[in-house]
Structure 1
Amino acid sequence: MTTSKTWNVALAGECMVCRPFMVHQDDSPEFAGVIELLRDTDVTYGHLEMNFADYEELRWPARGQGIGSFMMADPKIAADLKAAGMDLMSTAHNHSFDFGPEGLLATKKHCRDAGIATAGTGLDLELASEPAYVEKPKGRVALVSASSGNQHFMWAGLPKGGLRGRPGVNPVRIEYEFVVDEPTASQLKQLGENLRVSKPTKSDKPGAFGILLPGTQQWGEVNTFVVGDAFEINSRCNKRDLDRNKRSINEARTMADLVIVAHHFSVSDGPRGDTPPKFVQEFARAAIDAGADIYVGHGWHKTLGIEIYKGKPIIYGIGNFFAQSEFIQRVPYDSYDAWGHDVDRLPTLTPADHPLHPGLDTPSDTWWSSALIKLEMEDHQLKRLHLHPVEMGRETTKEARVTRQTGTGDHAFTEGRPMLSQGEDAVRILGRFQKLSALYGTTVEINDGVGTIDLSSAPQIAKSA
């Protein structure tokens, strides 16, 4: 077969999908337009922020802490995703292990049965790290998927000593360094000595010192402090994880004609702002250097800027595409407990109680909107990128007024299905991409409700590379 050097690619964001949706494909032009954009392409990628399993396939929730949702939905929804056009989906994220190995492996099985290739999770570390491949008329496409911010028991492991490897996610672990001024460093050292929580650090920087707080003693994670002129948090990728993922990307570029790298990160260098953490930029650029054609970041449930690096797109935050976590039918005890519900009355509590899910307890002008991204690639270089704004049932204002509601309860449940956005909402969605992409020297032009990055001229590539 002669490999085509041009690709039209569709990228969809975080699919927190737990309701069948293809029944609505002809309901409105705004939703039909989304489906058409997903299908009218050479290959379509999305991030699956959900697990699929029949309940008899599961045992129990694998974690007992945190306010995060326990993501689980009807496996039949995988068929809807395939019918909508999904070819490849990343499954490495902070909810991959919500229901342990059983839920993780069932998700891969149901996606495979629906005809969707998945990457980022597996029976052991080697399988979780390997690329997924899909055959398309224009050639072979590969996906490598990784996650940062997972708890230790969620990391996939390798077999050793006669023991099987651990199912889990393909991790990119993070190493942090906290920079403080001299007076603060002196106070922290005194605090460490007085509370007897001072510990040696692995850092080889002069004057570096460590503190191991009681809450992290079980993991042995020492917080490393160094003295500097300004306060800042420096994060970097664990070298072994970075090297392993670079090997997977190198495999993918050798064995496929187009390579997509998906990176889920649920942690940040401080509060989640409008720019990605340092370790994310490190990983994204390393992925491109290793042979990736496209980098897609997600995890903060909000859109971030787009960088053009060596002529290839780095999408730091693609945002949500489906936002339906509040419709999860089976909510475990742990969620009711974490959100402060009276678990002594557990039999009287239901999934309709509020709050039970993060991101939904307060209004957000970024949770309910994003863009379906269409790429034109030629000879492994980006020619054009089109941003088609979508909304999931709320306005893109600080108040986030509900525009599409399900049910009539006291708390408005937002329908959460993506539709093409119009009017002022579309302007705000695209304006955010435009503003945040400009931080990387990337120009987003807005015309007729669509944002466009046009690299038909060389200067922008040279400037960003």
Structure 2
Amino acid sequence: MSSPFTLVLTGQSLIHHDVRQVSDEGFTAIKSLIQRADIAFTNFETTVFGRHSGWPMKGSYFGCSEPMVLDALKDIGFNALALSNNHAFDLGPPGILSTLEEVAARDFLHAGIGADLSEARRPGTKTFGNRSVALVAMDAGPGPATMYAADATDRRPARPGVNGLEVSRIFEVDPSRFEALSSIQETFQSSSMERSNYAQPHDPPQLHTADDIDFYGTIFRRANENKRRILVDEASLEVHLSAIRKATAEGTFVIAYLHHHHWEPSWREVPVWVQMFARACIDAGAGVFVSHGAPVLQPIEIYRGAPIFFGLGNFLFHLNEGEVVWSAPEVWKSVVATCRFDPDARLRSIDLHPIVIGGERLEARNYHERVVPVPVPAALATEMIEDLAARSRAHGVSISLEANYGMISPC
């Protein structure tokens, strides 16, 4: 017979330091909170420089970590990791293979990357107590096509990489802007091969109407207003929903995970396409949906009794000295969410414990020294929970303020 269980979810863990030696009472309290959960989940926002080696595949935003950071995450209490994100391919295919090897050696529930596409798409499964749990993890980019896993064909070997949710970005522009872009393209496009030449190493995007133009890799569409649209590919969507349905049909509790960087102009807002995708995952049977990418805390929704965490921001966020691009205060604030489920996997309650990475004095621009999260003091806890409650209210969720933390009681 199944038992009640708890699931802890945190912001993403961009971890480059071994935090096991950090002596801080606040951090110890957070670890204790995480360690009490049956399942403790985070996004492993890096790649492992391990036995398979690898080479940097990007410039300023490159990052990799030694295998010992996985031991640090174990020490905190995590036992489930999403691996699908924009840093997973920072060392190329060798980094994918090393990460898989090191994560498996530590017995994490994990998903989101693979030695080929079939493996990358496969849900991770693990039994916690008497409950089977599956993780379906994917990344929607934007990222180079070469970072996503591919199966072998008779002419191409397999490519280790990330499990991708295929989306396209289209800029709708008014007729005058559309004609200006078309004129520029006609001026410099001297042959039919020009578009293909500049598409490499990617295939050029497919155009479906005379109102679309491929402006050197970006699709612009003639429309009545100027707007960016993110469109989810239906075939890709169905692949992921089928994986959720199959796992659910086998009696497994499914965590659906998405990483993406297709943000709204305000990081704090939920993109409409993400809400639609999250709800589709719940409709397919997922017991919870969680997302990272925008490095800030986003609203929470309860849909058909299942929690949707549109963005949990950061839990660990290790920067290089002098790196100040992430100076916005909201980057360093998040919550640790403890979800309680009954034996039938119905959500009973959610506790939201506010944290701040490195302490509340965010005016001190010592971002590279902000190594671990700590609980926030009462005044800041109230401010954070009230702000999250106001934004989540628009999604039909009521968050009450308890003793320095928030609570959701959907039943």
TM-score greater than 0.5 by the shorter chain = yes
- The 2-side partners of 1:395 and 1:432 are apart by 16
Aligned to 1:388, what secondary structure does the other structure show? strand
Per the alignment, residue 11 of structure 1 pairs with 9
Q: What are the Cα deviations for residues 394-444 of structure 1, in whole angstroms up to 9, with x where unaligned?
A: 437xxx3239x6xxxxxx632320111123332333233222212212111
How far apart, in 2, do the equivalents of 1:243 and 1:43 lie? 27
SS at match of 1:224: strand
Contact 2:301 2:308 in 1 (8 A): yes
CA distance in structure 1 between the aligned counterparts of 2:158 and 2:25, rounded to whole angstroms: 48
Q: What code does the residue aligned with 1:168 have?
A: G
Larger mean CA deviation between 76-85 and 446-455 belongs to 76-85
Q: Which residue of 2 aligns with 1:253?
A: 248
Taking a change above 3 Å as real, the CA distance of residues 236 and 380 of structure 1, as seen in their structure-2 partners, is: farther
SS of aligned partner of 1:58: coil
- The secondary structure found in structure 2 opposite 1:111 is helix
What is the aligned partner in structure 1 of residue 41 from structure 2?
A: 45
1:401 matched to 2:363: yes
Q: CA deviation at 1:34?
A: 0.7
Q: Does 1:171 align with 2:174?
A: no
Output aligned runs, 1:128-139, within 5 Å.
128-139=120-131
8 A Cα contact 2:267 2:294, kept in partner: no
Aligned residue number for residue 211 of structure 1: 214
Q: 1:204: Cα distance to partner?
A: 5.2
**Correspondence for 1:75 among 59, 67, 86:** 67
Cα distance change, pair 239–451 in 1 and its aligned pair in 2 (3 A): same
Query: 1:21-420 counterparts in 2 under 5 A?
Result: 21-24=19-22, 27-54=23-50, 57-61=52-56, 63-65=57-59, 67-68=60-61, 70-149=62-141, 150-161=143-154, 163-196=156-189, 208-213=211-216, 216=217, 222-228=218-224, 230-269=225-264, 271-326=265-320, 352=321, 354-355=322-323, 360-361=324-325, 363-378=327-342, 379-395=344-360, 400-402=362-364, 413-420=368-375
Unaligned runs of 5+ in 1: 217-221, 327-351, 406-411, 457-465
Q: Bigger CA drift: 436-445 or 287-296?
A: 436-445
Q: Deviation string for 1:194-243 (max 9, x for gaps)?
A: 454998985656x6221322xx3xxxxx5131312x33222121222211
Matched residue, 2:201: none
Deviation at 1:174, TM superposition (A): 1.2
- Residue identity over aligned pairs, in percent, reads 24
Q: d(CA) in 1 for partners of 2:239 and 2:123?
A: 12
**Contact 1:394/1:401 (8 A) holds in 2:** no
What TM-score does the superposition give when structure 1 sets the normalisation length? 0.79
When the two chains are superposed, the root-mean-square deviation of aligned CA atoms in Å is 2.5
Aligned residues: 398
| Aligned residue identity for 1:141 | V
Alignment equivalent of 2:381, drawn from 426, 450, 453? 426
Query: Judging changes above 3 Å, is the alpha-carbon distance between structure 1 residues 224 and 184 closer, same or farther for their aligned structure 2 residues?
Result: closer
Closer, same or farther in 2 for the Cα pair 1:182/1:47, shift >3 Å?
same
Aligned residue in 2 for 1:330: none
Equivalent in 428, 431, 445 of residue 400 of structure 2? 445
Q: Secondary structure at the match of 1:385?
A: strand
Shift of 1:454: 1.2
- Is it true that 1:436 corresponds to 2:391 in the alignment? yes
State the Cα deviation string for residues 97-133 of structure 1 (Å, max 9, x = none).
1011111111121122122121000001111111111
- Give the Cα–Cα distance (whole angstroms) in 1 for the partners of residues 326 and 307 of structure 2: 32
SS at match of 1:325: coil
Structure 1 contact 176–224 (Cα < 8 Å) conserved: no
Query: Deviation string for 1:285-339 (max 9, x for gaps)?
Result: 111111111000101111111111111111110110001132xxxxxxxxxxxxx
Q: Secondary structure at the match of 1:57?
A: coil
Letter in 2 for 1:130: R
Mind listing any 5+ residue stretches in structure 2 that lack a counterpart? 196-203
- Gap change, CA 1:183 and 1:160, over 3 Å in 2: same
Q: Distance in 1 between matches of 2:71 and 2:213?
A: 50
Note if contact 1:53-1:110 (Cα within 8 Å) is conserved in structure 2: no
State how far apart, in whole Å, the 1-side matches of 2:337 and 2:347 are. 13
CA–CA separation in structure 2 for the residues paired with 1:204 and 1:311? 39
Distance 1:194 1:262, change over 3 A: same
Q: Secondary structure at the match of 2:389?
A: helix
Indicate the residue corresponding to 2:198 in structure 1.
Answer: none
The alpha-carbon deviation at position 380 of structure 1 amounts to: 3.7
In the alignment, which of 18, 21, 44 is matched to residue 20 of structure 1?
18
Task: Give the AA of the match of 1:452.
Answer: M
Shift of 1:145: 0.5
Amino acid at match of 2:327: P
3-state SS of paired residue (2:330): coil
- Tell me by how many angstroms 1:28 deviates: 3.8
After superposition, the Cα gap between the structure-2 partners of 1:53 and 1:176, relative to the gap in structure 1 and judged at 3 Å, is: closer
Whether the 8 Å contact between 1:201 and 1:208 is mirrored in structure 2 is no
Does the Cα contact within 8 Å between 1:393 and 1:416 map onto a contact in 2?
yes
Q: Sort the Cα spacing of 1:138 and 1:441 in 2 relative to 1 into closer, same or farther, 3 A.
A: same
The amino acid across from 1:116 in the alignment is F
What residue identity is the alignment partner of 1:234? R
